[in-house]
């Protein structure tokens, strides 16, 4: 898997964090670089850490399912992307004008919740023998940057952009899953 595909995965995975960070930005009464940085650190760290945990689990089971790994990768990315699309179709979960909070407990909860999908992608990385360190670094940096920016511009772009970003992220993950499947089935090279 090349840099472009890894970058697209990083962007796709960060869309949940992007949407939540956008919502947090909408709830702040004023622009705060300190709060944006804190949110971005939490989201970036967990988006990079969870694939590592998934990769460890995937390595344990690789010998048993290596003949089906491309189907598993496809299914995981399809489910993750589909979940994101369904969330948007159901109206999303962004509340404008909510409390202006940024506690460590709340950020930890949000960061873990938005990075669960990255755990499944980490399992996929184990099956596909991805060079893990650069992939995790790229996912973490991408999520950090997108989360930081989305907090700062949340009140200006509104809920529609957050939903569109999550929808785009879901579509990207599904397309990457299809590409992985097609490559392993020798439909595309």
> pLDDT per residue over 115-163, tens digit each?
878 888 898 888 888 899 999 999 999 999 999 998 888 756 555 565 6
- State the Cα–Cα distance between residues 5 and 32, nearest whole angstrom: 33
Domain membership flag for residue 134 = yes
pLDDT the model gives residue 7 = 93
pLDDT the model gives residue 160 = 52
Domain with 135 in it? 3-92+108-184
| Percent with pLDDT over 70 in the chain | 81
- State the Cα–Cα distance between residues 148 and 47, nearest whole angstrom: 14
Q: Indicate whether 66 pLDDT > 80.
A: no
Domain membership flag for residue 97 = no
Mean pLDDT value of segment 78-98: 69
Q: How many domains does the chain have?
A: 1
CATH number at residue 68: 1.20.1250
Yes or no: say if 36 and 25 are a contact pair by the CB < 8 Å rule. yes
Domain membership flag for residue 18 = yes
The three-state DSSP-derived secondary structure of 97-160 is: CCCCCCCHHHHHHHHHHHHHHHHHHHHHHHHHCCCHHHHHHHHHHHHHHHHHHHHHHHHHHHHH
Q: Please indicate whether residue 162 or residue 97 has the higher confidence score (pLDDT).
A: 162
Q: How confident is the model at residue 94 (pLDDT cuts 50, 70, 90)?
A: low
Domain membership flag for residue 39 = yes
Domain membership flag for residue 121 = yes
Domain membership flag for residue 70 = yes
Q: Indicate whether 20 pLDDT > 60.
A: yes
Domain membership flag for residue 102 = no
> pLDDT per residue over 101-128, tens digit each?
567 888 888 888 888 788 888 988 888 8
Non-local (6+) Cβ contacts of 53 within 8 A are 119, 122
Domain membership flag for residue 86 = yes
* Percent of the chain as helix, strand, coil, to the nearest 5: 85, 0, 15
């Amino acid at each position: 898997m090349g840099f472009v595909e890894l970058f697209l995965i990083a962007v796709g995975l960060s869309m949940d964090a992007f949407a939540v960070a956008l919502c947090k930005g909408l709830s702040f009464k004023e622009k705060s670089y300190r709060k944006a940085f804190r949110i971005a650190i939490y989201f970036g760290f967990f988006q990079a850490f969870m694939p590592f945990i998934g990769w460890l689990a995937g390595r344990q089971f690789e010998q048993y399912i290596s003949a089906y790994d491309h189907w598993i990768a496809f299914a995981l990315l399809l489910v993750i992307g589909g979940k994101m699309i369904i969330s948007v179709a159901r109206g999303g979960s962004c509340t404008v004008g909510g409390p202006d909070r940024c506690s460590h407990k709340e950020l930890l909860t949000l960061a873990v919740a938005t990075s669960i999908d990255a755990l499944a992608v980490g399992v996929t990385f184990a099956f596909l023998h991805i060079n893990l360190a650069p992939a995790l670094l790229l996912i973490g940096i991408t999520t950090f940057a997108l989360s930081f920016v989305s907090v700062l511009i949340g009140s200006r772009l509104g809920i529609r952009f957050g939903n569109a970003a999550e929808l785009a992220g879901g579509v990207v993950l599904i397309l990457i899953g299809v590409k992985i499947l097609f490559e392993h089935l020798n439909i595309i090279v």
